[in-house]
Structure 1
Amino acid sequence: MPEVIFAGPEGRLEGRYQKGKGENPPVALVLHPHPLFGGTMNNRATYELYQMFVRRGFSTMRFNFRGVGRSQGEYDQGQGELADAATALDYMQQMNPNAPFSWVAGFSFGSWIAMQLLMRRPEIVGFIAGSTPANLYDFSFLAPCPSSGVVIHGELDKICAPEETRSMVERTRTQKGRKIEFKTVPGADHFFETHMEAFISTAEDYLDNRLAHDTPEGEFHGDQ
């Protein structure tokens, strides 16, 4: 997993990038938890999501938001971090100009950024969101959500009760042929510290089911 340094909106950004398999692999970008609360691209969930996409042949990157690790800049309340994520996706697409489609994954704060990114980038056909903090951030921008995805939450999450995130998912409108699924992992906390295998297994099952279909949009394409 080679280290990469690329130009971001406020200086250089540090990442880890793995080229995918074949001539034109799809692209996946993985976003880490909150920078002010210890979140980095080496967060375990972020790392495991990254490896999940690598195993499936995606060109995959995780990176540190501004002000984290060797990335320059300062925390910017999410606005700057969204710009960082957009720049990271641009960088990946420059290296994979013929990628057929893109996925985005995010954990906690990173899932909030991921969902904002997919609203702006039509090439993103799927997303995986872990421990989405619907009690801390406004998700009303998903109006309607243009991509199908899965939101995975710990049953015993004390930072954001799963009922709040489930309610957010149920209220979210989607474009025709798209669907957001909500999955809970029994016994898991916000960080899935003792349930990481179950978290990744849930994400893998969803991703594999989507990739098994002919269209990037998956089985829900055209169903509604």
Structure 2
Amino acid sequence: MPEVIFTGPAGRIEGRFQPAKNRNAPIGIVLHPHPQFGGTMNNQIVYNLFYMFQKRGFAVLRFNFRGVGRSQGAFDHGSGELSDAAAALDWVQTIHPDARSCWIAGFSFGAWIGMQLLMRRPEIEGFISVAPPANLHDFSFLAPCPSSGLIIHGDVDKVVPMKDTQALVDKLKTQKGIVVDQEIIPGANHFFEDRVDVLMDHCGTYLDKRLADTPDAA
């Protein structure tokens, strides 16, 4: 798992990148939780999502947003972090130009950034949003949501109450042309303590199902 450094809008960005063996393999980008609350690319859920994509042959990148770890810059309340995510996707596309598609996965704050990137980049064909902070950030930009994906959260999440996530899911499910799957993990809090394995089982099963529906999946 090579360490990589690439240039972002605020300077150097630190990441971990796993190339794909198949030149047509899809790209996976994994986004970490809130930088001001200890979120880094080495978060347990981010790490596990990274390996979920790697095991399925993706070219996959996780990275530190500006001001985290060895990434330069300072926290920018989401706007700069979205620019970082766009730069990360650009960088992987230069390394892996023949990729036929891209997936975005994010946890908490990273899920919010990922959904914004989804709106800007038509090549993103699928998403996995883990505990999207629907009560803390505005998701009204998803009008309409351009791609199908999975929203997964715990039923005892005290950071993002289930009713707020449910309202987001219900809104997205009214849109035509996409399918938003929802998984609720019983007994899971916002950080999925003692439930990370269950979380990853659900995410992996969902990704396998979507890849099986793609004729030349990796």
Query: Contact between 1:82 and 1:116, CA under 8 Å: does it hold in 2?
Result: yes
Unmatched 5+ residue regions in structure 2?
none
Partner Cα distance (1:203, 1:169) in 2: 17
Structure 1 residues 1-224: aligned runs within 5 Å: 1-172=1-172, 176-214=176-214
Query: Contact between 2:23 and 2:96, CA under 8 Å: does it hold in 1?
Result: no
**TM-score, normalising length from structure 2?**
0.96
Query: Contact between 1:28 and 1:104, CA under 8 Å: does it hold in 2?
Result: yes
Partner Cα distance (1:24, 1:215) in 2: 13
Query: Contact between 1:26 and 1:100, CA under 8 Å: does it hold in 2?
Result: yes
**TM-score, normalising length from structure 1?**
0.94
> SS at the partner of 1:172?
helix
Amino acid at match of 1:94: T
Q: Alpha-carbon deviation of 1:25?
A: 1.1
Tell me how large the CA RMSD over aligned residues is.
Answer: 1.4
Query: Contact between 1:8 and 1:84, CA under 8 Å: does it hold in 2?
Result: yes
> SS at the partner of 2:16?
strand
Query: Contact between 1:142 and 1:173, CA under 8 Å: does it hold in 2?
Result: no
Give deviations 1:154-195, integer Å, cap 9, x for gaps: 111000111210111111267642111111111111011210
Partner Cα distance (1:126, 1:11) in 2: 28
Partner Cα distance (2:153, 2:200) in 1: 12
Partner Cα distance (2:159, 2:180) in 1: 22
Query: Contact between 2:144 and 2:175, CA under 8 Å: does it hold in 1?
Result: yes
Unmatched 5+ residue regions in structure 1?
217-224
Amino acid at match of 2:151: V
Q: How many residue pairs align between the two structures? A: 217
Q: Alpha-carbon deviation of 1:21?
A: 2.5
